[in-house]
Amino acid sequence: MPGSDALVAAARAARVHAHAPYSHFAVGAAIEAADGRVFTGVNVENATYGLTVCAERVAILKAMSEGVRAFQRIAIVADTEAPTPPCGACRQILWEFAGDLEVILANLARETGRHQLSALFPIPFDRRLL
């Protein structure tokens, strides 16, 4: 299992592959599966914005496409001084498929925050409401 520094480093390394020609806001993510494997993702923008996909969703969907169904934590990296948490759509996807995982936020130089997803998404919509 990689340490949080290694997970953040994987997210930083992935970030350079972001496709953000409109916002110029490149984000990298690395999600750690329960078995220790790490899957990375980057944001991929589209001219219509609504079709843009965030780094967190790319990472978890890549992992799921490889059969992974259990996760421990995710690191998210952006070039900002303040912590950059996952957007609402990403919080929903992460909750649905990863549960109350640890969320590590970082910028290009340091870690900027560490939270359980339940603290960032305190009243989630999930299967218990269906």
pLDDT tens figures, 8-49: 999 999 999 999 999 999 999 999 999 999 999 999 999 999
SS3 of residue 69 by DSSP: coil
4-129: CATH topology is Cytidine Deaminase; domain 2 (3.40.140)
* Count of all residues that appear for the chain in the document: 130
Crossing angle of helices 4-15 and 55-65, rounded to 10° = 110
Cβ neighbours of 96 (radius 10 Å): 13
Residue with tokens 């916002």: 23
Tell me if residue 56 is catalytic. Answer: yes
| pTM (2 d.p.) | 0.96
Q: And the tokens for 13?
A: 């390394």
> What are the residue boundaries of the structural domains of the chain, listed by start?
4-129
For residue range 68-102, list pLDDT tens digits in order.
999 999 999 999 999 999 999 999 999 999 999 99
SS3 of residue 87 by DSSP: coil
Residue among 32, 45, 56, 111 flagged as catalytic: 56
